Amino acid sequence: MPLPPARAESGGVRLQFPAELTHDPAAVFAREMGAALQQHPGAVVADASSLQQFDSSALALLLECRRLAVQAGRQFSVTGAPIKLQQLAQLYGVDDLLHRTTDA
């Protein structure tokens, strides 16, 4: 899996999550996500709008992305989270940790 597409934006970076993110590719994606975040300073926007096929691994990666951002003193938000991902976050009781924005 190549580095997650990370696009520099005014004041930060947008990290694009892939259409399919399940258990198998999650470890590789996590390493590459960490590397992409190190390359781009500022606020972090995790763009989940492409997610179509995912499991709890996607949620775990969003939480890891948030942890890395907060640890570095950076702002973090999620945009484009599919309804099913939002429901999964609510089920696990972590929806408050994923600061969602409405624009994609």
10: domain CATH number is 3.30.750.24
Whole-prediction pTM: 0.85
Per residue in 6-26, pLDDT (tens digit) is: 777 778 889 999 999 998 888
Q: Is residue 104 part of a domain?
A: no
Q: Is residue 48 part of a domain?
A: yes
Q: Is residue 68 part of a domain?
A: yes
DSSP code for 62? H
2 has a pLDDT exceeding 50 = no
Domain count, the chain: 1
| 18: containing domain | 6-99
Per residue in 17-54, pLDDT (tens digit) is: 999 999 888 888 888 888 888 888 899 999 999 999 99
CA distances from 15 to 90, 92, 95 (A): 22, 23, 19
Which residue from 9, 67, 64, 66 is spatially nearest to 41, judged by alpha carbons?
9
Q: Is residue 1 part of a domain?
A: no
